Structures are given as structure tokens and as C-alpha cells.
Amino acid sequence: MPIELPDITVICPDPAVEHVFSSIHQRWEQLVKTSPPYSKGELFSLPFPYVVPGGVYQQLFYWDSYFIILGLNISRLHELARSIVNNFFYELKTFGIIPNSSELAHLSRSQPPLLTSMIEEVWRGDKEWLRSAYEWAKIEYKEVWMDETTHYHPQIGLNKYYDRLESMLRVKGEAYLHFDEMYIPPAFWHERVEAESGWDYTGRFHRQCGYFIPVDLNALLYKYETDLAAFARLLALNGEAEQWEQAAKRRKDLMNQYLWNEPFGMYFDFHFLNGRQHCYYSLAAFYPLWARAASKQQAAKVVRHLPLFLQPGGLAASNVQTGFQWDFPNGWAPLHWIVIKGLQNYGYDLEAQEIARRWIRLCTKVYLETGNMYEKYNVVDMSIRTVGRYPSQKGFGWTNAVYQKIAVDLLGCTVC
């Protein structure tokens, strides 16, 4: 769909970065889609324009969109950014969930909950819109993530990922196939749950994602609660704000109990059936820093582990080579932004700058060689020779956006 791109001028200290940045701005148009007014093929209809990742991914994805919005705002595509969030409100109204993507087969699961973070980026002082957005966010929080039959573990008081296989309808041509959970092999169900985590796939979860209390999910929901408290304050709903603040405090206390490992100085996922942490080193441990859920002492201990992940092209998702794409040696734009922002939150600006320089150098090198941005990269050999079940896709929404955000916030680029 053609859009009217704002006429911007990009100025960067590095001419190569300036060239790539300007090219990204021009390429947003290629990733904008509009649904027909009816569901078609494998995709359901959406009322507003949206941005797709690229490559084989030509649908609206939930967690991708937060990172994409960061770039759209830098490119001054503010209305497009808000239209993406309005589509998520439509999905909540229509399906009772923000699905993994706008593909019919993805209606049984969601993705990492970043709705309030998107609202924070796009509300731009419009309190009437914020009032409505606040109500939609409360619905997602209470009816999806705090549902004791799916995503909330009431005995532990923290959250897990899930997949509603029993209610899934998959459309293939004119055939509607209904899957009943009781006939689904456990391994297949866990695989689908892991897809909801966004980390599909990784050694973090031992192929049993449905039995884990993940660090990143609970950090995201801590941020969700603090965001809702901030929105409530802005809307003069002080009683509700206090309730959200209490919920966030309770979650942080439980994260410290179940997910923080003091001897290792690290956050780890908790296997609730086994009753123990899975001591697997991954960038998920930096989510509490991004969400400001860590103490200064905890942040300092987590930061000491950066050398486990730091490579010539930035950060590997983990320090373990499993053959899965969310592990070593692959690096991902969203994880780079989470870590960089988390480091900045606690005053580790030099570390953030170094990671930013390495990641931008890798993305710039590959772009100049190929003319494309990619979904994921090999941060060890500075290439797109990644591991996983499929090749790195061209496009690419969240890589484009994080490149822009890092270039402006950390590397001295300006947009005018």
C-alpha cells in the first residue's frame, strides 16, 4: 500500500550509517499493508493499515510491532504507528486476545505482551485516546494474562505462556479442522507454547515451555503494571494507580523469590513442575533491567555476565549452541534494544554504546554487501549465516526500526 512518506533529512557522523538509515526510511512503504474488508486466504481482515516484518512474514505480528513502532516514530509516521495499536484493540474486541499474528492459525496464542509499551509510544498527549487505550489494556491484562486456566499460575503468583489448542480453528481451503487438546501430543503443545514466547525455538525451555515461569514474560508484565499505574495517574484515577503499583510490587517480590539466583547473580526461568530454576544463560535475564524491575545491585550482577554474550557483531541470544535460532551464534534486533535500554536504565552507558556500535556495524556491513536488512544475524562471523529451521528473512521490520532507534539515541544521528 502506498503511503505518504514524510520528507526527512538524516545526518549521521558515519556516512555509511546515514546511507542505510535513509534507505530504511524509504523502505517503510514496502512493508505497509491494508486488509481487504473481509478475511481472505489464511489472514483475517483488519480495519487499519499495519506494517509487516517482510520476507515470508506478510501479516501483522504482536511483539514485532512494538519495535517497528520505535522506528515509525523516528520516520515521523505517527498515524501509521497508532493505526497498528488500534488494530490490536480491534483484535481484543473481536477475538478476546491479541493473537500471535493476523493469521487464522495463530488465534490460539498470543505473543509477549507489549501493548502498554506501544500505547506509551503512540498516545502523544491525546488523553481521550489514552483513556480508551487504558481500558483495552486492562482487558488484555485481566482476561488473557491473568486467566488462571491459561497464563497465570495462582500457586506461584507469576505467569507462563500457553496455547489454546482446544479452541483453535485452522482454515485450509474450505476445510475446518478442530483440534481437541486431549488428542495433541505434549511435545507438539509445548512447541506451540514456545511460539507464543517469541523465542521459537531455544534451549531455554528444554522443549517444555508450557511448564516454565519465564523471566522475560514476568518482566514484561511488571512493566505492563507500572505502565497502567502511570496511565491511571495521567487520567486522575489515583485509586486504580495504587492498585497497579501494588500489583507491580507483588510481582517484583515474586520474581526475586522464583527467578532471581543470588549465588549466580542472574535471572533464570523457573520450571514449576520440577520446582527449580533452569540455569541457562540468555539475554532474557536483561528484561528486568529494561522493565526497571531489578535493584541496582541485581543489575550490576547481571551486567557482569555481558562477556558471555558479546561478540564482534553484538550480542548472541545465549551462550549455548543448540542449533535453535534463539541461541548462539544468532543475534536479534529486539534483544539488542532490550539490553541496550536496560543498560541505560541503570547508568551503564559505555556498555550500551559498545553494543550499539557493534550491532550497527554488523547491520551496515551486511546492508552494503547485500542491499537488505535481515531478520537475524550471525554475530560471531558478522554475516547472515544463521542457525535455525529457516534462512534469515529479508525486510525486515524490527531490524529496520531498531537500527533507526539506536542510530538516533546512541550514535549521534539526527532527523530533521
3-state secondary structure the chain: CCCCCCCCCEECCCHHHHHHHHHHHHHHHHHEECCCCCCECCECCCCCCEECCECCECCCEHHHHHHHHHHHHHCCCHHHHHHHHHHHHHHHHHHCCCCCECEHHHCCCCCCCCHHHHHHHHCCCCHHHHHHHHHHHHHHHHHHHCCCCCCEECCCCEECCCCCHHHCEEEECCEEEECCHHHCCHHHHHHHHHHHCCCCCCHHHCCCHHHEECHHHHHHHHHHHHHHHHHHHHCCCHHHHHHHHHHHHHHHHHHHHHCEECCCCEECEEECCCCEEECCCEHHHHHHHHCCCCCHHHHHHHHCCHHHCEECCEECCECCCCCCCCCCCEEEHHHHHHHHHHHHHCCCHHHHHHHHHHHHHHHHHHHHHHCCCECEEECCCCECCCCCCCCCCECCHHHHHHHHHHHHHCCCCEEC
pLDDT of residue 185: 80
- The question of whether 200 is a catalytic residue gets the answer yes
State how beta strands 314-315 and 310-311 pair: antiparallel
CB-based contact 257:275 (threshold 8 Å) = no
pLDDT of residue 222: 99
- Render pLDDT for 286-307 as a digit per residue (tens, 0 to 9): 999 999 999 999 999 999 999 9
* Regions in the chain scoring below 70 on pLDDT: 1-2, 166-184
State how beta strands 10-11 and 175-178 pair: unpaired
- The question of whether 269 is a catalytic residue gets the answer no
Query: Which pTM value belongs to this model?
Result: 0.96
- Render pLDDT for 119-172 as a digit per residue (tens, 0 to 9): 999 999 999 999 999 999 999 999 999 999 999 999 999 999 999 985 553 433
How far is 413 from 11, CA to CA, in rounded Å? 6
The Cα angle at residue 33 between residues 28 and 34, in degrees rounded to 5: 140
Per the residue annotation, which of 163, 216, 225, 375 is the catalytic one? 375
Q: Which one, of 329, 312, 336, lies nearest residue 387 by Cα?
A: 329
How far is 192 from 194, CA to CA, in rounded Å? 5
Residue 389's contacts (CB-CB under 8 Å, 6 or more residues apart) are 201, 325
Angle between helices 215-234 and 127-140 (to 10 degrees): 140
Phi, psi at 364, each rounded to 5°: -65, -45
Say how many C-beta atoms besides its own lie within 10 A of residue 370's C-beta.
12
Per the residue annotation, which of 103, 140, 163, 200 is the catalytic one? 200
How far is 356 from 377, CA to CA, in rounded Å? 15
